[in-house]
Amino acid sequence: MTALATSPTDVDRALSELTARKQLWAAGSLAERIRLLESVVRRTDFAAERWIDAAALAKQFEPDSPAAAEEWFSGPFSIIAGAQAYAESLRRLAGGRATYSRRSVRSGRDGRAIVRVLPFDWYDAILLSGYSIDVWMQPQVTPATLAQNTAAAYRIRPNPRVCAVMGAGNVGSIPALDALYKLIAESQVVILKLSPINDYLGPLIEEILVEFVDLGCLRIVYGTSDIGASLIEHELVDTVHLTGSRATHDAIVWGTGDESERRRANGEPRLEKPVTSELGGVSPIIVVPGPWTAADFKYQAEQIVTAKLINVGYNCIAPQILVLPEGWDGSGKLVETIGEVIDELEPRFPYYPGGEERRRKVADRPGAVTVGGMPTTILPNLTSGTDESAFKTEWFTPALGVVRLPFNDPAYFLQSAVQLANHQLEGSLGANLIIHPQTADDYGPHFEGAIANLRYGAVAVNTWTALNFLLPRASWGAFPGHSVGAVGSGVGVVHNALFFDRPEKSVARGPFFPMLRAWRQGEVHLSPPPPWGITAKNGAAVARRFTRFIAKPRWQSLPGLVSEALKG
């Protein structure tokens, strides 16, 4: 956290400059935008080591420690991958082609268009063997109408607009990625306000995006919530995008206290500008019972702990509720193994303001158990069907609740788990399922029906919804249908590098087994355990090579990257 602050006079000047440029930007050439995005790739690659060093200093970990892997992937990697994907989509549009391959489109069971967006590039099937991502369109978009529901900003010239992007404080790439989406996918000029929590990255973000700044279509400002409030309400700001909490969103749109209640009752928001948002929520991990071995319990516990504790648990999609079948012998075994994995972790500094206080509040609840060198609180006996606060309030801290549902067979359990996720848990950003391949085969229609019925903007099977975030051709945002009056996990999407106008959700799938055991089990892929895993000892080295490769994909770079990844 720094003491940087932009003066009101400088904010006014920045908005005047953006307003003068917004019409030219909305009508700008594809070639110019491609050039700007190519500069983002080069400059991020050049700044990457300094980015990791800055994050390591602020979050208090060693730059070559396993914790650095998460910063490589969630920082430089995601910005480079995003800029590369946007540039490729613009090249396709410039050549008169669709942003997606026609061969990647299929019809869902209800006739909607579903587009396979991973693998996409030539190297995806090698580096992410066994993984896939599909983007599901909203039901009214069919394969026949998909082209008419893609890249609206490039089919219909949009109204020139100035967007105020309020940057997130937890993941350093989010402010840059949100700004790029508004600039490229929606053709808005952007004033980006960085959070005081991570504005130490501000000089690097300015360096990475400098050519957008030089062109006059981006300005970056700093300060506390007072600067943010005045910026949002400024007469020259046309739209707002926010990544943060629902409480922050509602305070901006409706005010607080008595004012909020009065305005809601009268339908009179204090901010009437269009607001898009990504606001987190209470995310589930649904574990389907099956023929698990001891090795399966250990491996899947590591994946669950990774999802929970990457970035010290300060993630909008960190799972909060572990949904298990009552009566399955594996439920107790899995919870026990999760605790054992956490016990083996090194301590991490709780850098996010209020994070440790929130964890301690959870730890004060009856039945809570705290484990590990990185203190993590587990509530092992939550009850469904109650007004459970753990289902309604995002903790945003290292804490995990466990709920057990009646179990007759996997089909019945899946139906019950989806009902819990859709109707009792707050928000609709991300949901995760873990299922053994044999169980998925035996209960295929029920399993696929669960995926279809989950009302979440990101669904991940045998992986974590962070994959939907990191890989830019997936859409990222809440399930459609929210409004500023009942905002849930937010309104609109970002990332979405193929520029789909009406995405409903992205569905990521990964391997249940790591490579060395997968072949013996009939699950064929070439992926070692994920390098972003919190227990991956060599994760930082793999993440560094992965990021460098994405910046300059070359066949000759693959052997070194693959060799590093196989070290685990």
Q: Mapping DSSP to helix (H, G, I), strand (E, B) and coil, where does residue 157 land?
A: coil
Phi, psi of 394 (to 5 degrees): -70, 120
For residue 151, which of 448, 544, 556, 501 has the smallest C-alpha distance? 501
**CATH class of this structure's domain 8-101+154-278:** alpha beta
3-state DSSP of 366-432: CCCEEECCCCEEEEEEECCCCCCHHHHCCCCCCEEEEEEECCCCHHHHHHHHHHHHHHCCCCCCEEE
Residue with tokens 């949002």: 232
Global pTM value: 0.97
What the block records as the tokens of 426 is 């707050």
One-letter amino acid at 366 equals P
Query: What pLDDT score does 387 carry?
Result: 67
- The reply to whether 8-101+154-278 and 283-456 are identical in fold is no
User: Measured between alpha carbons, how far is 487 from 489 in angstroms, rounded to an integer?
Assistant: 6
8 A C-beta contact, residue 30 and residue 86: no
Predicted confidence at residue 544, as pLDDT, reads 97
Cβ count within 10 A of residue 386: 11
CA nearest to 488, candidates 433, 418, 425: 425
C-alpha distances in Å from residue 336, one per residue of 297, 342, 402: 10, 10, 12
| pLDDT (0 to 100) of residue 261 | 87
Q: Are 125 and 119 in contact (CB under 8 A)?
A: yes
SS3 190: strand
Report DSSP letters for 353-368, one per residue.
TTHHHHHHHHHTSTT-
22 with 189: CB under 8 angstroms?
yes
By three-state DSSP, how is residue 433 classified? strand
Residues 6 or more apart whose Cβ sits within 8 Å of residue 208: 40, 43, 44, 47, 79, 176
- CA dist 557 and 261 (Å) reads 58
| Sequence spans of domains, the chain | 8-101+154-278, 283-456
* CB burial readout 54-83, b (16+ within 10 A) else e: bbbebbebebeebbbbbbbbbbbbbbbbbb
CA separation for the pair 40, 60 (Å, rounded): 27
Alpha-carbon span 521 to 462, nearest angstrom: 15
Per-residue pLDDT of the chain (568 residues; tens, 9 = 90+): 555 789 999 999 999 999 999 999 999 999 999 999 999 999 999 999 999 999 999 999 999 999 999 999 999 999 999 999 999 999 999 999 999 999 999 999 999 999 999 999 999 999 999 999 999 999 999 999 999 999 999 999 889 999 999 999 999 999 999 999 999 999 999 999 999 999 999 999 999 999 999 999 999 999 998 899 999 999 999 999 999 999 999 999 998 888 888 998 888 999 999 999 999 999 999 999 999 999 999 999 999 999 999 999 999 999 999 999 999 999 999 999 999 999 999 999 999 999 999 999 999 999 999 999 899 999 999 998 776 899 999 999 999 999 999 998 999 999 999 999 999 999 999 999 999 999 999 999 999 999 999 999 999 999 999 999 999 999 999 999 999 889 999 999 999 999 999 999 999 999 999 988 888 888 888 888 899 999 998 999 999 999 999 999 999 999 899 888 888 6
For 283-456, give the CATH class: alpha beta
CA angle 479, 482, 483 (to 5 degrees): 150
Alpha-carbon span 55 to 546, nearest angstrom: 18
